[in-house]
Amino acid sequence: MNIKIITVGKLKEQYLKDGIAEYTKRLSRFAKVHLIEVPDEKTPEKASEAENTQIMAKEGQRIQEKIGERDYVIVLAIEGKQLPSEVFAEKMNQITVDGYSDVTFIIGGSLGLSPEVKHRANFKISFGLLTLPHQLMRLVLVEQVYRAFMIQQGSPYHK
């Protein structure tokens, strides 16, 4: 399986880079993981709704350029479905049973994702109603993907 994680903006915090590197290394026995950062747009402090829409559209276009035609796309969105880890593990397994070998996760920038990116998604997932920095969400996502594989293996890691 190939897993792509497309994110908006550069990750600057070393502690997050270290955590992501650790889980990416652990995941390497199950899948090839590709972390792809697309440039974010500078958002004016008091941006209008039209400016925000334009910024999301630009970021969305950059994201869509990185999505493969046959990728199974999962976007992280507040309106997505909330799943317990066991159900997420089943979902990841079902994706491969359905014949997909490329899974792409998308984490938007501070303004979220454009409607076009959300429309391209095969599935929308939410990790809860709390607002988390999108940089921290990268680490949470990589850990949950690793957890899903460990659950599939029957590992005590999940306990």
Q: pTM (2 decimals)?
A: 0.95
Which parts are annotated binding residues? 76, 108, 127-132
* pLDDT, tens only, 116-129: 999 999 999 999 98
Q: Work out the pLDDT band at 46, boundaries 50, 70, 90.
A: confident
Distance, CA of 2 to CA of 100 (rounded, Å)? 9
Which parts are annotated binding residues for S-adenosyl-L-methionine? 76, 108, 127-132
Mean pLDDT of the chain: 95
Q: Closest Cα to residue 106, out of 119, 90, 96, 91?
A: 119
Burial of 32-64, coded b for 16+ CB within 10 Å and e otherwise, reads ebebeebebbeeeeeeeeeebeebbeebbebbb
The answer to whether 62 and 116 have CB atoms below 8 angstroms apart is no
Number of Cβ within 10 Å of residue 6's Cβ equals 24
The pLDDT assigned to 43 comes to 86
